[in-house]
Amino acid sequence: MFEATTMLFVYVETPLHAGSGRALGNVDLPIQRERVTGYPVVQASSLKGRLRAEGKAKKMPHLEVVFGPDTDNADKHAGALSPGDAKILLFPVRSLTGVFASTTSAEVLHRFQRDAKMVGIEIEPEWMVPKIAGSEVLISGNGLKAGGKVVLEEFTFTPKVDQAVSEIGQWLADNALPQAGEYDYWRQELPKRLVILPNDDFRDFVTFSTEVATRIKLDPETKTVDEGPWSEEYLPTDTLLYAPLMATPSRKTEANLSGQDVLKSVKDLNLTRTQLGGNETVGRGSVYLRLA
């Protein structure tokens, strides 16, 4: 049974490719997605592997207790830390006014509230997202309006101003976005940029408005194409993800760490920027981490 829990927020600073292998569709190397909803995720194994690598680099005490032993000794005991998948919370979409909007949906917000409660985070007052009719979207003010409409990519929506959007945006700015000084601007902007979309429209944006890059590999001697072209999918910069972190007491017999000790050892790493996913050598996958 899990003894201690918290939430990890992941803010994408450079396009992130958490790949699912080769596919036969329009994109050769798509990103990981939930099977039912199609929402993007970063699977828990990728997240745990990155945290372990950071712990090893920083000579973290009790590394094997927290994350489990290396592959050759994996049968000895399991690790005490159990991350969940990193799920989508905010997705940036190009806007005719205001450059881009941070979009979400009622379904995603209620999902997040459920997961937050699971790890002991109480959101008070509880977010009550008003129902949206037809092509309506919920916004907090006039910053994203263009001629009385909100235009995202090539789609036009009828805006409905609601105080709940500002309150949700402010909570996320205060509790989910990085608190470093370079994020002051983004924390101020989020409540103004937040757009709550109909569930189906949000699903369509996270399906069809990700970044897709075409790449080739050059022969180092002739500088001609050696392999490719192939296409890769990325989560765009300014995406916000969240992942529950749960911990049990140590499963290593000779160690004596509680679940709270396990989470404290992760917090003591003081992680901020790290790299997730593939293509690290071309600057992809830089993320900023924040523990609740």
Q: What is the pLDDT of residues 31-77, one digit of tens each?
A: 999 999 999 999 999 999 999 999 999 999 999 999 998 888 877 88
Mean pLDDT computed over 210-223 = 86
- Look up residue 97 and give its amino acid: T
Mean pLDDT computed over 126-137 = 88
* Listed residue (289, 266, 6, 251) closest to 120, CA to CA: 6
Rounded to whole angstroms, the Cα distance separating 210 from 199 reads 17
Residue 20: what pLDDT? 77
At 145-189, the pLDDT tens digits run 999 999 999 999 999 999 999 999 999 999 999 999 999 999 999
- 21-39 in b/e burial notation, b at 16+ Cβ within 10 A? eeeeeebbbbbbbeeebeb
At 230-259, the pLDDT tens digits run 899 999 999 999 999 999 999 887 778 999
Q: What is the pTM of this model?
A: 0.94
pLDDT beyond 80 at 119 = yes
Residue 254: what pLDDT? 77
Sequence-distant contacts of 210-213: CB under 8 A, at least 24 apart: 210/31, 210/40, 210/234, 210/235, 210/236, 211/15, 211/235, 211/236, 212/27, 213/15
